[in-house]
């Protein structure tokens, strides 16, 4: 059975795109970023292509917005209305990783959030966590929001080194059946460093 997942994070800047690169390489998957808001010359799609090379299959963004801001603000500035019905999972029979923008409640419009896009696509979820002050709160809120939306949390990613005291609390809130992925920290953001780090990925099942 092919692996097709929606990857999101507990907030902005937690390393979703680096996590995507690791998992794309691990699963030999294709990549789709439905909404890119700002940084069009160095987009997340461009970043994973540079890390993984030309062999990576990439599907084009549904919306490419100029301003580096929340998608609802960027879209409004360009006179664009993001339409949830416009999003469809690419017709692809291989492994696929779909990357969201920011966290679950990043707004796509005045009334729609990334979580609505996740429900629309209805893929199992990969949730990326990173250690910082507040990550416990953000992680647990994100886990609960995913569950309340009726979505399956397939993987929770601990991206980089983690305070064991924080990790223990977060692990206790992870639903049974979810697997844990531990990703190493990259010293440099290069294809070579990514390849060297691959053997250090750890995947665990909850006890």
Q: Which of 39-48, 115-124, 139-148, 154-163 has the lowest mean pLDDT?
A: 39-48
Q: Is 186 exposed, middle or buried (0-12, 13-18, 19+ CB in 10 A)?
A: middle
pLDDT at residue 68 in the model: 81
Q: Report the share of the chain in percent with pLDDT over 70.
A: 97
> Which positions make up the binding site for Mg(2+)?
17, 44, 99
Structural domain 4-205, CATH architecture: 3-Layer(aba) Sandwich (3.40)
pTM listed for this prediction:
0.94
Catalytic residue among 3, 33, 88, 196: 33
Cβ neighbours for 83, distance < 8 A, ≥ 6 positions apart:
none
The domain spans of the chain are 4-205
Let me know if 25 is a catalytic residue. Answer: no
Please say whether the beta carbons of 118 and 149 come within 8 A.
yes
Which tens digit of pLDDT belongs to each residue from 99-131?
999 899 999 999 999 999 999 999 999 999 999
Structure confidence at residue 40 (pLDDT): 60
């Amino acid at each position: 059975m092919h692996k097709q997942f929606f990857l999101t994070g507990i907030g902005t800047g937690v390393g979703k795109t680096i996590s995507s690169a690791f998992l794309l390489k691990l699963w030999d998957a294709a990549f789709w970023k439905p909404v890119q808001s700002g940084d069009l010359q160095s987009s997340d799609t461009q970043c994973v292509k540079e890390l993984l090379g030309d062999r990576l299959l990439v599907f084009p963004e549904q919306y490419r917005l100029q301003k580096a801001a929340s998608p609802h603000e960027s879209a409004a500035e360009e006179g664009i209305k993001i339409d949830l019905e416009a999003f469809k999972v690419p017709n692809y029979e291989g492994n696929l990783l779909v990357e969201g923008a920011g966290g679950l409640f990043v707004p796509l419009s005045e009334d729609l959030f990334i979580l609505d896009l996740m429900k629309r696509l209805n893929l199992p979820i990969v949730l990326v966590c990173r250690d910082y002050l507040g990550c416990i709160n953000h992680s647990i809120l994100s886990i609960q929001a995913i569950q309340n939306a009726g979505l399956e949390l397939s993987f929770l990613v601990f991206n980089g080194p983690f305070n064991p005291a924080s990790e223990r609390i977060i692990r206790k809130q992870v639903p049974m059946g979810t697997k844990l992925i531990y990703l190493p920290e990259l010293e440099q953001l290069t294809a070579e460093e990514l390849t060297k780090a691959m053997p250090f990925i750890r995947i665990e099942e909850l006890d």
